[in-house]
Structure 1
Protein backbone atom coordinates (compact mmCIF):
# COMPACT_ATOMS: atom_id res chain seq x y z
CA UNK A 1 0.00 0.00 0.00
CA UNK A 2 2.83 2.38 0.87
CA UNK A 3 4.44 1.93 -2.55
CA UNK A 4 1.10 2.53 -4.29
CA UNK A 5 0.58 5.73 -2.30
CA UNK A 6 4.08 6.97 -3.17
CA UNK A 7 3.44 6.19 -6.86
CA UNK A 8 0.18 8.16 -6.82
CA UNK A 9 1.87 11.13 -5.17
CA UNK A 10 4.66 11.00 -7.77
CA UNK A 11 2.12 10.75 -10.62
CA UNK A 12 0.19 13.72 -9.28
CA UNK A 13 3.37 15.77 -9.03
CA UNK A 14 4.33 14.92 -12.61
CA UNK A 15 0.82 15.89 -13.75
CA UNK A 16 1.24 19.31 -12.11
CA UNK A 17 4.62 19.79 -13.81
CA UNK A 18 3.07 18.78 -17.14
CA UNK A 19 0.27 21.31 -16.72
CA UNK A 20 2.79 24.03 -15.86
CA UNK A 21 4.80 23.31 -19.00
CA UNK A 22 1.75 23.11 -21.27
CA UNK A 23 0.27 26.37 -19.96
CA UNK A 24 3.58 28.21 -20.25
CA UNK A 25 3.63 29.11 -16.55
CA UNK A 26 7.17 27.83 -16.12
CA UNK A 27 9.17 31.05 -16.61
CA UNK A 28 12.29 29.53 -18.23
CA UNK A 29 10.17 27.68 -20.77
CA UNK A 30 7.89 30.63 -21.54
CA UNK A 31 10.90 32.93 -21.93
CA UNK A 32 12.64 30.54 -24.33
CA UNK A 33 9.71 29.73 -26.60
CA UNK A 34 9.16 33.24 -28.13
CA UNK A 35 12.90 33.63 -28.76
CA UNK A 36 13.01 30.42 -30.81
CA UNK A 37 9.86 31.33 -32.70
CA UNK A 38 11.11 34.81 -33.63
CA UNK A 39 14.37 33.73 -35.32
CA UNK A 40 13.80 33.89 -39.11
CA UNK A 41 15.31 31.31 -41.46
CA UNK A 42 16.45 32.09 -45.00
CA UNK A 43 16.60 29.44 -47.73
CA UNK A 44 18.96 29.29 -50.74
CA UNK A 45 19.99 26.86 -53.47
CA UNK A 46 23.23 26.57 -55.44
CA UNK A 47 21.51 27.34 -58.71
CA UNK A 48 19.47 30.53 -59.12
CA UNK A 49 17.02 28.46 -61.15
CA UNK A 50 16.48 24.78 -62.01
CA UNK A 51 16.40 24.39 -65.80
CA UNK A 52 14.60 21.65 -67.69
CA UNK A 53 17.59 19.67 -68.93
CA UNK A 54 15.87 17.22 -71.28
CA UNK A 55 17.09 13.70 -72.06
CA UNK A 56 20.85 14.02 -72.79
CA UNK A 57 22.26 11.40 -70.42
CA UNK A 58 25.52 9.49 -70.34
CA UNK A 59 24.84 5.86 -71.40
CA UNK A 60 27.25 4.56 -68.74
CA UNK A 61 25.38 1.98 -66.62
CA UNK A 62 28.02 1.37 -63.92
CA UNK A 63 27.08 2.33 -60.33
CA UNK A 64 28.65 5.67 -59.45
CA UNK A 65 28.44 8.47 -56.87
CA UNK A 66 28.45 11.95 -58.42
CA UNK A 67 29.18 15.18 -56.58
CA UNK A 68 29.66 18.94 -56.68
CA UNK A 69 31.89 21.01 -54.39
CA UNK A 70 30.57 24.19 -52.82
CA UNK A 71 31.15 26.63 -49.99
CA UNK A 72 29.07 29.18 -48.10
CA UNK A 73 29.82 32.67 -46.80
CA UNK A 74 27.70 31.99 -43.70
CA UNK A 75 26.99 29.17 -41.28
CA UNK A 76 23.88 27.12 -41.95
CA UNK A 77 22.50 23.68 -42.77
CA UNK A 78 21.93 21.56 -45.85
CA UNK A 79 18.40 20.22 -45.48
CA UNK A 80 18.00 18.56 -48.91
CA UNK A 81 19.84 17.67 -52.11
CA UNK A 82 18.37 17.94 -55.61
CA UNK A 83 19.63 16.26 -58.78
CA UNK A 84 18.39 15.68 -62.29
CA UNK A 85 17.70 11.99 -62.74
CA UNK A 86 17.19 10.03 -65.92
CA UNK A 87 15.74 6.58 -65.17
CA UNK A 88 13.58 5.10 -62.40
CA UNK A 89 15.53 3.02 -59.87
CA UNK A 90 13.52 0.59 -57.77
CA UNK A 91 15.97 0.73 -54.87
CA UNK A 92 15.56 4.51 -54.63
CA UNK A 93 18.15 7.26 -54.45
CA UNK A 94 20.69 8.09 -51.75
CA UNK A 95 22.24 11.54 -51.24
CA UNK A 96 25.18 12.58 -49.05
CA UNK A 97 26.94 15.67 -47.71
CA UNK A 98 30.70 15.34 -47.14
CA UNK A 99 33.39 17.46 -45.52
CA UNK A 100 36.56 18.28 -47.46
CA UNK A 101 38.30 15.34 -45.78
CA UNK A 102 35.57 12.81 -46.57
CA UNK A 103 33.64 12.83 -43.31
CA UNK A 104 29.99 11.99 -43.92
CA UNK A 105 27.98 14.85 -42.40
CA UNK A 106 24.48 13.93 -43.51
CA UNK A 107 22.51 11.68 -45.83
CA UNK A 108 19.03 10.89 -47.06
CA UNK A 109 17.17 8.29 -49.10
CA UNK A 110 14.12 8.62 -51.36
CA UNK A 111 12.05 5.79 -52.72
CA UNK A 112 11.11 5.57 -56.37
CA UNK A 113 7.95 7.26 -57.62
CA UNK A 114 8.30 10.67 -55.94
CA UNK A 115 8.80 12.64 -59.14
CA UNK A 116 8.74 12.47 -62.94
CA UNK A 117 11.50 10.78 -64.91
CA UNK A 118 13.46 12.46 -66.34
CA UNK A 119 13.29 15.41 -63.98
CA UNK A 120 14.53 16.98 -60.78
CA UNK A 121 14.43 14.82 -57.65
CA UNK A 122 14.59 16.33 -54.14
CA UNK A 123 15.80 14.14 -51.26
CA UNK A 124 15.59 15.36 -47.65
CA UNK A 125 18.79 15.26 -45.57
CA UNK A 126 17.82 14.38 -42.01
CA UNK A 127 19.12 15.37 -39.62
CA UNK A 128 20.36 18.40 -41.57
CA UNK A 129 24.11 18.65 -42.25
CA UNK A 130 25.79 21.55 -40.44
CA UNK A 131 27.82 23.87 -42.70
CA UNK A 132 30.52 26.29 -41.53
CA UNK A 133 31.32 29.47 -43.41
CA UNK A 134 34.33 29.36 -45.73
CA UNK A 135 34.85 25.59 -45.72
CA UNK A 136 34.53 23.35 -48.79
CA UNK A 137 31.88 20.62 -48.88
CA UNK A 138 30.65 18.06 -51.42
CA UNK A 139 26.99 17.30 -52.13
CA UNK A 140 26.50 14.00 -53.95
CA UNK A 141 24.03 11.36 -55.05
CA UNK A 142 24.45 7.67 -55.82
CA UNK A 143 23.30 6.49 -59.27
CA UNK A 144 23.16 2.70 -58.95
CA UNK A 145 22.38 2.31 -62.66
CA UNK A 146 24.48 5.15 -64.04
CA UNK A 147 22.63 6.99 -66.80
CA UNK A 148 23.44 10.39 -65.28
CA UNK A 149 23.17 13.82 -66.81
CA UNK A 150 26.55 15.44 -67.50
CA UNK A 151 28.03 18.46 -69.25
CA UNK A 152 31.79 18.22 -69.78
CA UNK A 153 34.24 21.15 -69.40
CA UNK A 154 31.66 23.15 -67.46
CA UNK A 155 33.77 24.08 -64.41
CA UNK A 156 36.96 25.00 -66.28
CA UNK A 157 36.12 28.71 -66.53
CA UNK A 158 32.83 29.25 -64.68
CA UNK A 159 31.69 29.25 -61.08
CA UNK A 160 28.11 29.69 -59.87
CA UNK A 161 27.10 32.08 -57.10
CA UNK A 162 23.68 32.44 -55.54
CA UNK A 163 23.25 34.37 -52.29
CA UNK A 164 25.89 33.14 -49.83
CA UNK A 165 26.57 29.94 -51.83
CA UNK A 166 29.36 29.30 -54.34
CA UNK A 167 30.03 26.33 -56.63
CA UNK A 168 33.77 26.36 -57.16
CA UNK A 169 35.40 26.76 -60.53
CA UNK A 170 37.99 23.99 -61.00
CA UNK A 171 41.47 25.34 -60.30
CA UNK A 172 44.19 26.03 -57.75
CA UNK A 173 43.17 28.08 -54.71
CA UNK A 174 45.02 29.84 -51.90
CA UNK A 175 44.56 28.75 -48.28
CA UNK A 176 41.94 31.48 -47.81
CA UNK A 177 39.90 30.38 -50.83
CA UNK A 178 41.15 32.81 -53.49
CA UNK A 179 41.31 31.44 -57.04
CA UNK A 180 44.92 31.51 -58.27
CA UNK A 181 45.03 29.73 -61.63
CA UNK A 182 43.46 26.95 -63.72
CA UNK A 183 44.73 23.42 -63.17
CA UNK A 184 47.83 22.75 -65.25
CA UNK A 185 46.66 19.23 -66.03
CA UNK A 186 44.37 16.52 -64.70
CA UNK A 187 47.11 15.11 -62.46
CA UNK A 188 47.98 18.51 -60.91
CA UNK A 189 48.29 17.69 -57.19
CA UNK A 190 47.23 21.22 -56.22
CA UNK A 191 44.10 21.16 -58.35
CA UNK A 192 40.76 21.61 -56.59
CA UNK A 193 38.64 19.52 -58.94
CA UNK A 194 34.94 20.00 -59.34
CA UNK A 195 32.46 17.66 -60.85
CA UNK A 196 33.69 14.65 -58.84
CA UNK A 197 32.77 10.97 -58.84
CA UNK A 198 33.49 7.56 -57.33
CA UNK A 199 32.68 4.28 -59.11
CA UNK A 200 31.65 1.18 -57.17
CA UNK A 201 28.72 -0.48 -55.44
CA UNK A 202 27.20 1.78 -52.77
CA UNK A 203 29.34 4.70 -54.01
CA UNK A 204 31.29 6.64 -51.37
CA UNK A 205 33.18 9.91 -51.02
CA UNK A 206 33.70 11.20 -54.61
CA UNK A 207 37.16 12.66 -55.29
CA UNK A 208 38.00 11.73 -58.89
CA UNK A 209 37.45 14.22 -61.68
CA UNK A 210 37.05 14.11 -65.46
CA UNK A 211 36.86 17.12 -67.78
CA UNK A 212 35.51 19.42 -65.04
CA UNK A 213 32.08 17.88 -65.60
CA UNK A 214 28.83 19.30 -64.28
CA UNK A 215 26.47 16.62 -62.97
CA UNK A 216 23.66 19.09 -62.21
CA UNK A 217 23.40 18.75 -58.44
CA UNK A 218 21.78 21.31 -56.15
CA UNK A 219 21.17 21.75 -52.42
CA UNK A 220 18.62 23.35 -50.14
CA UNK A 221 20.57 25.51 -47.68
CA UNK A 222 19.03 27.24 -44.67
CA UNK A 223 20.63 29.94 -42.53
CA UNK A 224 19.62 32.46 -39.89
CA UNK A 225 21.99 35.08 -41.32
CA UNK A 226 19.80 37.65 -43.11
CA UNK A 227 20.28 39.09 -46.61
CA UNK A 228 20.77 41.36 -48.53
CA UNK A 229 24.53 41.77 -48.54
CA UNK A 230 25.05 38.97 -51.09
CA UNK A 231 26.10 40.72 -54.34
CA UNK A 232 26.08 37.98 -56.99
CA UNK A 233 23.55 35.68 -58.57
CA UNK A 234 24.08 33.34 -61.50
CA UNK A 235 26.99 32.18 -63.64
CA UNK A 236 30.24 34.07 -63.11
CA UNK A 237 32.76 33.71 -66.00
CA UNK A 238 36.36 33.19 -64.95
CA UNK A 239 39.09 35.74 -65.64
Structure 2
Protein backbone atom coordinates (compact mmCIF):
# COMPACT_ATOMS: atom_id res chain seq x y z
CA UNK A 1 0.00 0.00 0.00
CA UNK A 2 1.13 3.54 -0.58
CA UNK A 3 -0.10 7.11 -0.07
CA UNK A 4 -1.18 7.70 -3.72
CA UNK A 5 -0.02 8.90 -7.19
CA UNK A 6 0.72 7.07 -10.45
CA UNK A 7 4.09 5.53 -11.21
CA UNK A 8 6.65 6.27 -13.89
CA UNK A 9 9.01 3.79 -15.53
CA UNK A 10 12.77 3.82 -15.47
CA UNK A 11 15.04 3.85 -18.48
CA UNK A 12 18.72 3.19 -17.88
CA UNK A 13 21.30 5.28 -19.88
CA UNK A 14 21.04 8.35 -21.86
CA UNK A 15 15.69 12.21 -28.57
CA UNK A 16 15.85 13.44 -32.75
CA UNK A 17 14.84 16.97 -33.61
CA UNK A 18 11.09 16.40 -33.60
CA UNK A 19 10.61 15.00 -30.14
CA UNK A 20 7.52 12.96 -30.83
CA UNK A 21 7.52 9.23 -30.48
CA UNK A 22 5.59 6.35 -29.01
CA UNK A 23 7.17 3.61 -27.00
CA UNK A 24 6.13 0.16 -28.13
CA UNK A 25 4.21 -2.12 -25.83
CA UNK A 26 5.92 -3.69 -22.85
CA UNK A 27 9.19 -1.93 -23.37
CA UNK A 28 10.47 -0.72 -20.06
CA UNK A 29 11.63 -3.52 -17.86
CA UNK A 30 11.85 -1.71 -14.56
CA UNK A 31 8.53 -0.18 -13.49
CA UNK A 32 8.84 1.49 -10.11
CA UNK A 33 6.57 3.30 -7.68
CA UNK A 34 8.75 6.40 -7.45
CA UNK A 35 7.02 8.58 -4.91
CA UNK A 36 8.01 10.84 -2.07
CA UNK A 37 6.04 8.57 0.29
CA UNK A 38 7.19 5.00 1.00
CA UNK A 39 5.43 1.84 -0.10
CA UNK A 40 4.75 -0.88 2.46
CA UNK A 41 4.09 -4.60 2.27
CA UNK A 42 2.92 -6.94 5.01
CA UNK A 43 5.33 -9.74 4.12
CA UNK A 44 8.91 -9.52 2.95
CA UNK A 45 9.86 -11.34 -0.30
CA UNK A 46 11.98 -13.69 1.80
CA UNK A 47 9.12 -14.69 4.11
CA UNK A 48 7.76 -18.21 3.64
CA UNK A 49 4.95 -20.11 5.41
CA UNK A 50 5.78 -23.06 7.60
CA UNK A 51 3.45 -25.24 5.47
CA UNK A 52 3.48 -23.93 1.86
CA UNK A 53 0.77 -26.36 0.71
CA UNK A 54 -1.05 -29.54 1.66
CA UNK A 55 -1.55 -32.55 -0.56
CA UNK A 56 -4.56 -34.23 1.01
CA UNK A 57 -7.18 -31.47 0.84
CA UNK A 58 -8.67 -30.72 -2.56
CA UNK A 59 -11.59 -28.51 -1.46
CA UNK A 60 -11.26 -24.81 -2.45
CA UNK A 61 -10.86 -22.47 0.52
CA UNK A 62 -10.42 -18.75 1.01
CA UNK A 63 -7.63 -17.67 3.33
CA UNK A 64 -6.53 -14.20 4.28
CA UNK A 65 -5.10 -11.77 6.78
CA UNK A 66 -6.60 -8.82 8.62
CA UNK A 67 -4.58 -5.61 8.93
CA UNK A 68 -4.95 -2.01 10.01
CA UNK A 69 -2.99 0.96 8.64
CA UNK A 70 -1.87 3.90 10.79
CA UNK A 71 -1.81 6.26 7.80
CA UNK A 72 -4.18 6.98 4.92
CA UNK A 73 -3.23 5.38 1.62
CA UNK A 74 -4.22 3.17 -1.29
CA UNK A 75 -4.12 -0.59 -1.70
CA UNK A 76 -2.06 -1.19 -4.82
CA UNK A 77 -1.81 -4.95 -4.81
CA UNK A 78 -2.49 -8.28 -3.20
CA UNK A 79 -0.24 -11.32 -2.95
CA UNK A 80 -0.23 -14.88 -1.73
CA UNK A 81 2.38 -17.59 -1.25
CA UNK A 82 1.92 -20.53 -3.61
CA UNK A 83 3.14 -23.98 -2.73
CA UNK A 84 3.93 -26.54 -5.41
CA UNK A 85 0.64 -28.34 -4.71
CA UNK A 86 -1.45 -25.15 -5.06
CA UNK A 87 -2.58 -25.69 -8.63
CA UNK A 88 -5.67 -24.27 -10.27
CA UNK A 89 -7.11 -20.75 -10.45
CA UNK A 90 -6.45 -18.28 -7.64
CA UNK A 91 -8.59 -15.22 -6.94
CA UNK A 92 -7.51 -12.45 -4.59
CA UNK A 93 -10.09 -10.30 -2.79
CA UNK A 94 -10.05 -7.14 -0.72
CA UNK A 95 -12.63 -6.90 2.04
CA UNK A 96 -13.73 -4.00 4.21
CA UNK A 97 -13.74 -4.19 8.01
CA UNK A 98 -17.52 -4.69 7.78
CA UNK A 99 -17.12 -7.74 5.53
CA UNK A 100 -17.98 -6.11 2.19
CA UNK A 101 -16.02 -7.34 -0.82
CA UNK A 102 -14.44 -4.20 -2.26
CA UNK A 103 -12.48 -5.67 -5.15
CA UNK A 104 -11.21 -8.96 -6.55
CA UNK A 105 -8.87 -10.13 -9.28
CA UNK A 106 -7.74 -13.40 -10.84
CA UNK A 107 -3.99 -14.04 -10.68
CA UNK A 108 -2.35 -14.61 -14.04
CA UNK A 109 1.14 -15.59 -15.10
CA UNK A 110 1.77 -17.49 -11.90
CA UNK A 111 5.05 -19.27 -11.21
CA UNK A 112 5.17 -22.85 -9.97
CA UNK A 113 5.72 -21.69 -6.40
CA UNK A 114 6.62 -18.65 -4.33
CA UNK A 115 4.98 -15.26 -3.91
CA UNK A 116 2.36 -14.39 -6.54
CA UNK A 117 1.54 -10.70 -6.96
CA UNK A 118 -1.36 -8.79 -8.44
CA UNK A 119 -0.84 -5.04 -8.43
CA UNK A 120 -3.51 -2.48 -9.13
CA UNK A 121 -3.45 1.14 -10.22
CA UNK A 122 -6.92 2.45 -9.42
CA UNK A 123 -8.94 3.93 -12.27
CA UNK A 124 -10.29 6.60 -9.93
CA UNK A 125 -6.88 8.26 -10.10
CA UNK A 126 -7.19 8.68 -13.85
CA UNK A 127 -10.98 9.00 -14.29
CA UNK A 128 -10.37 8.29 -17.97
CA UNK A 129 -8.80 11.74 -18.46
CA UNK A 130 -6.30 11.72 -21.36
CA UNK A 131 -2.86 13.11 -20.59
CA UNK A 132 -3.13 12.73 -16.82
CA UNK A 133 0.25 10.98 -16.64
CA UNK A 134 2.10 13.37 -18.94
CA UNK A 135 4.83 14.63 -16.64
CA UNK A 136 7.26 16.54 -18.86
CA UNK A 137 6.31 14.43 -21.86
CA UNK A 138 9.96 13.45 -22.34
CA UNK A 139 12.45 11.22 -20.56
CA UNK A 140 13.85 13.03 -17.53
CA UNK A 141 17.41 12.56 -16.38
CA UNK A 142 18.34 11.72 -12.79
CA UNK A 143 21.05 13.65 -10.95
CA UNK A 144 23.29 12.89 -7.99
CA UNK A 145 22.98 14.79 -4.72
CA UNK A 146 25.65 17.24 -5.89
CA UNK A 147 23.79 17.91 -9.15
CA UNK A 148 25.95 15.71 -11.37
CA UNK A 149 23.79 14.20 -14.16
CA UNK A 150 23.49 10.42 -14.02
CA UNK A 151 23.27 8.11 -17.02
CA UNK A 152 19.75 7.05 -15.96
CA UNK A 153 16.46 8.38 -17.28
CA UNK A 154 12.88 8.15 -16.12
CA UNK A 155 9.80 8.35 -18.31
CA UNK A 156 6.17 8.60 -17.30
CA UNK A 157 3.55 6.08 -18.42
CA UNK A 158 0.74 7.90 -20.21
CA UNK A 159 -1.22 4.84 -21.34
CA UNK A 160 -1.90 1.58 -19.51
CA UNK A 161 -4.34 -1.31 -19.77
CA UNK A 162 -4.95 -1.39 -16.02
CA UNK A 163 -6.21 2.10 -15.17
CA UNK A 164 -9.63 2.25 -16.81
CA UNK A 165 -8.41 4.18 -19.86
CA UNK A 166 -10.43 4.18 -23.09
CA UNK A 167 -8.75 3.64 -26.45
CA UNK A 168 -8.27 5.22 -28.92
CA UNK A 169 -9.42 8.24 -26.83
CA UNK A 170 -6.16 8.59 -24.91
CA UNK A 171 -3.72 8.07 -27.77
CA UNK A 172 -5.76 10.27 -30.14
CA UNK A 173 -5.86 13.11 -27.60
CA UNK A 174 -2.12 12.93 -26.95
CA UNK A 175 -1.33 12.91 -30.67
CA UNK A 176 -3.81 15.71 -31.48
CA UNK A 177 -2.26 17.92 -28.79
CA UNK A 178 1.29 17.09 -29.93
CA UNK A 179 0.73 17.54 -33.66
CA UNK A 180 -1.71 20.45 -33.36
CA UNK A 181 -1.17 24.12 -32.58
CA UNK A 182 -0.74 23.46 -28.85
CA UNK A 183 2.56 21.73 -29.51
CA UNK A 184 2.46 19.37 -26.53
CA UNK A 185 5.32 17.24 -27.84
CA UNK A 186 6.51 14.16 -26.07
CA UNK A 187 7.67 10.56 -26.04
CA UNK A 188 4.47 8.85 -24.96
CA UNK A 189 4.88 5.57 -23.12
CA UNK A 190 2.42 2.68 -23.36
CA UNK A 191 2.42 -0.11 -20.78
CA UNK A 192 0.36 -2.93 -22.29
CA UNK A 193 0.41 -6.43 -20.83
CA UNK A 194 0.18 -8.38 -24.07
CA UNK A 195 1.85 -11.31 -22.30
CA UNK A 196 -0.26 -11.73 -19.14
CA UNK A 197 -3.42 -9.92 -20.22
CA UNK A 198 -3.72 -10.64 -23.96
CA UNK A 199 -7.23 -9.30 -24.38
CA UNK A 200 -6.77 -5.91 -22.66
CA UNK A 201 -3.16 -5.44 -23.76
CA UNK A 202 -3.72 -6.41 -27.37
CA UNK A 203 -6.78 -4.21 -27.84
CA UNK A 204 -5.04 -1.20 -26.28
CA UNK A 205 -1.78 -1.70 -28.14
CA UNK A 206 -3.59 -2.27 -31.44
CA UNK A 207 -5.49 1.02 -31.04
CA UNK A 208 -2.30 2.89 -30.16
CA UNK A 209 -0.36 1.53 -33.13
CA UNK A 210 -3.26 2.20 -35.52
CA UNK A 211 -3.52 5.83 -34.41
CA UNK A 212 0.24 6.33 -34.65
CA UNK A 213 0.34 4.88 -38.16
CA UNK A 214 -2.58 7.08 -39.24
CA UNK A 215 -0.75 10.21 -38.06
CA UNK A 216 2.66 9.13 -39.32
CA UNK A 217 4.16 8.98 -35.82
CA UNK A 218 6.89 6.36 -35.24
CA UNK A 219 6.40 3.61 -32.67
CA UNK A 220 9.78 2.92 -31.11
CA UNK A 221 11.33 0.78 -28.40
CA UNK A 222 12.95 1.95 -25.18
CA UNK A 223 16.33 1.11 -26.67
CA UNK A 224 15.67 3.43 -29.61
CA UNK A 225 14.65 6.21 -27.25
CA UNK A 226 17.92 5.78 -25.34
CA UNK A 227 19.85 6.05 -28.59
CA UNK A 228 17.88 9.24 -29.35
CA UNK A 229 18.80 10.60 -25.94
CA UNK A 230 22.47 9.77 -26.46
CA UNK A 231 22.44 11.62 -29.78
CA UNK A 232 20.73 14.64 -28.25
CA UNK A 233 23.21 14.79 -25.38
CA UNK A 234 26.14 14.58 -27.78
CA UNK A 235 24.90 17.50 -29.93
CA UNK A 236 26.68 20.72 -28.97
CA UNK A 237 25.78 24.32 -29.88
CA UNK A 238 28.49 26.73 -28.73
CA UNK A 239 30.18 30.09 -29.36
CA UNK A 240 26.81 31.84 -29.67
CA UNK A 241 27.12 35.57 -30.43
CA UNK A 242 24.68 38.27 -31.60
CA UNK A 243 25.77 41.70 -32.82
CA UNK A 244 22.29 43.15 -33.30
CA UNK A 245 21.90 42.05 -36.93
CA UNK A 246 24.06 38.91 -37.12
CA UNK A 247 23.70 35.71 -35.06
CA UNK A 248 26.57 33.19 -35.19
CA UNK A 249 27.04 29.82 -33.52
CA UNK A 250 28.96 26.58 -33.93
CA UNK A 251 27.31 23.16 -34.21
CA UNK A 252 29.32 20.06 -33.31
CA UNK A 253 28.42 16.33 -33.27
CA UNK A 254 24.88 16.88 -34.55
CA UNK A 255 22.36 14.08 -34.14
CA UNK A 256 21.22 12.35 -37.34
CA UNK A 257 18.32 14.26 -38.95
CA UNK A 258 18.76 17.10 -36.45
CA UNK A 259 16.60 20.18 -37.01
CA UNK A 260 18.05 23.50 -35.88
CA UNK A 261 15.57 26.24 -34.91
CA UNK A 262 16.60 29.84 -35.63
CA UNK A 263 14.26 32.70 -34.61
CA UNK A 264 12.75 34.48 -37.60
CA UNK A 265 12.39 37.73 -35.64
CA UNK A 266 14.48 39.45 -32.96
CA UNK A 267 13.10 41.06 -29.81
CA UNK A 268 13.46 44.44 -31.50
CA UNK A 269 11.41 43.39 -34.55
CA UNK A 270 14.16 42.66 -37.06
CA UNK A 271 13.33 39.80 -39.46
CA UNK A 272 15.56 36.98 -40.67
CA UNK A 273 17.06 37.51 -44.14
CA UNK A 274 19.33 34.49 -44.61
CA UNK A 275 21.18 31.62 -42.94
CA UNK A 276 24.57 30.33 -44.08
CA UNK A 277 26.91 27.52 -43.03
CA UNK A 278 30.59 28.16 -43.57
CA UNK A 279 29.55 31.01 -45.89
CA UNK A 280 27.26 28.86 -48.09
CA UNK A 281 23.44 29.36 -48.06
CA UNK A 282 21.34 26.73 -46.31
CA UNK A 283 17.68 25.91 -46.92
CA UNK A 284 15.23 26.83 -44.16
CA UNK A 285 11.54 26.08 -43.62
CA UNK A 286 9.41 28.33 -41.40
CA UNK A 287 7.33 26.54 -38.77
CA UNK A 288 5.29 27.98 -35.91
CA UNK A 289 6.04 26.52 -32.47
CA UNK A 290 3.69 27.58 -29.68
CA UNK A 291 2.90 30.84 -31.50
CA UNK A 292 6.52 31.70 -32.36
CA UNK A 293 7.92 31.41 -35.90
CA UNK A 294 11.24 29.64 -36.34
CA UNK A 295 13.39 28.93 -39.40
CA UNK A 296 14.08 25.19 -39.32
CA UNK A 297 17.31 23.83 -40.75
CA UNK A 298 16.45 20.17 -41.26
CA UNK A 299 19.26 17.64 -41.36
CA UNK A 300 21.71 20.23 -40.02
CA UNK A 301 25.40 19.44 -40.45
CA UNK A 302 28.32 20.41 -38.23
CA UNK A 303 29.91 23.80 -38.84
CA UNK A 304 29.69 27.52 -38.17
CA UNK A 305 26.31 29.10 -38.88
CA UNK A 306 25.47 32.75 -39.53
CA UNK A 307 21.92 34.14 -39.39
CA UNK A 308 21.53 37.65 -40.80
CA UNK A 309 18.64 39.98 -39.87
CA UNK A 310 17.55 43.25 -41.55
Task: Report the TM-score, using the length of structure 1 for normalisation.
Answer: 0.32
Task: Report the TM-score, using the length of structure 2 for normalisation.
Answer: 0.25
Greater fraction strand:
1
Structure whose alpha-carbon radius of gyration is higher: 2
Structure scoring higher RCO (CA < 8 A, sep ≥ 6) equals: 1
